[in-house]
Amino acid sequence: MTFLHQGEDMDEQRISRTGQIKVYFGKCLRLFVNEKQWSCFISTVIIMAIISMVTGDEMFESYGPTKSGVFAIVSACIWIGLFNSIRSICKERAIIKREHRSGLHISSYILAHVGYEAVLCLGETLIVLLIMLIKNHAHLPDSGLVFPLFVDLFLSFFLVMFAADMLALLVSCVVKDENMAMTVMPFVLIVQLVMSGSVFELTGLTNLISYITVSHWGMNAVLSIACTDFVVRQQANWYEAEGVSASAGNVLMIWLVLLFFILLYIALAVLFLKQVDRDQR
């Protein structure tokens, strides 16, 4: 699908940046139906069902099972976010190049995708949270830190998933084609998982790298909320040293960091895609 109607000129249409966002957002919605992109919701249910089968009943009661369970869920959110948009830009690169020369604003194109991916992530996050709550409803913390528990967890999972989604969108703006995108994605995922600090003890350079990963901040946000439970906090003797602190201020700070990552990835995606006219691919 092209941006311009056949035989029309951009000057004649005079479509504003906002108008272009609406056009491309509508296109994304049509692809959601026509290309069965709604299947991402089914995948999310399957992933969370598998995680629910392997996480123990002591999640949110003992620190070890809580940490393992949170790592599995945060990893799932990152995987879901990455898979959402890793191919969304690169597969349309030739169309983008042609329509950019006809008057397409790259920022409008990216923002349309950002809006669409946000809607996807909202639905997927709701599925993740509902399945987690069904599995662990009997031993959840009594309250959240900033908002009610449901809202705190929803915002944390959403920001993790959406940040991973925007990182994948950035990668999709940089790579040559879909094959390259799918080749790069496992490396991005491995960095996120290994550098989260949940599996391996990180020191020196690796510890510094962890601070620029979505997984590090996502783990700390959810564990901070989980540590509102007295029993879990008693078993997490090191949690404050790791950045896990059961305080509203800490969780708000982490949310702001994740929001900064999201905005940074969006800005870089626009910057890289604006070079499309120089593309010889």
pTM of the complete model beyond 0.85: yes
Across the range 72-89, mean pLDDT stands at 94
**CA-to-CA separations, 4 to 21, 33, 61, 144, 256, in angstroms, rounded:** 13, 22, 57, 49, 38
Residue boundaries of the structural domains of the chain: 16-278
Listed residue (214, 200, 128, 209) closest to 170, CA to CA: 214
DSSP secondary structure string, 140-191? --S--SSS-HHHHHHHHHHHHHHHHHHHHHHHHHHSSSHHHHHHHHHHHHHH
Q: Sorting pLDDT into bands at 50, 70 and 90, what band is 115?
A: very high
Map tokens 């979505």 to a residue: 214
Q: Does 228 score more than 90 pLDDT?
A: no
pLDDT of residue 11 exceeding 50: no
101: three-class secondary structure by DSSP:
helix
Report whether 2 contacts 98 (CB < 8 A).
yes
Q: What is the mean pLDDT of the chain?
A: 85
Residues 6 or more apart whose CB falls under 8 angstroms from that of 279 comprise: 93, 97
Backbone dihedral angles phi then psi of residue 119, each to the nearest 5 degrees: -65, -45
In this structure, which amino acid lies at residue 258?
L
pLDDT digit string (tens) for 234-252? Answer: 655 545 545 567 788 889 9
Q: What is the pLDDT of residue 248?
A: 87
Q: Find the mean pLDDT for residues 119-138.
A: 93
Looking at beta carbons, which pairs linking 38-44 to residues 24 or more positions away fall under 8 Å? 40/80, 40/83, 40/84, 40/120, 40/124, 41/123, 41/124, 41/127, 43/80, 43/83, 44/80, 44/124, 44/127, 44/128
Q: What pLDDT score was predicted for residue 237? A: 54
Lowest-pLDDT range, 7-11, 24-28, 54-58?
A: 7-11
Confidence (pLDDT) at 130: 95
Higher pLDDT, 230 or 119: 119
Q: Give 105's contacts (C-beta < 8 A, 6+ positions apart).
A: 17, 20
CA angle 198, 199, 200 (to 5 degrees): 105
Rounded to an integer, what distance in angstroms lies between the CA atom of residue 134 and that of residue 210? Answer: 31
Contacts of 108 (CB under 8 A, 6+ apart): 17, 18, 20, 21, 24
Q: Which of 77-81, 115-119, 192-196, 274-278 has the lowest mean pLDDT?
A: 274-278
Task: Tell me the average pLDDT across 4-22.
Answer: 60
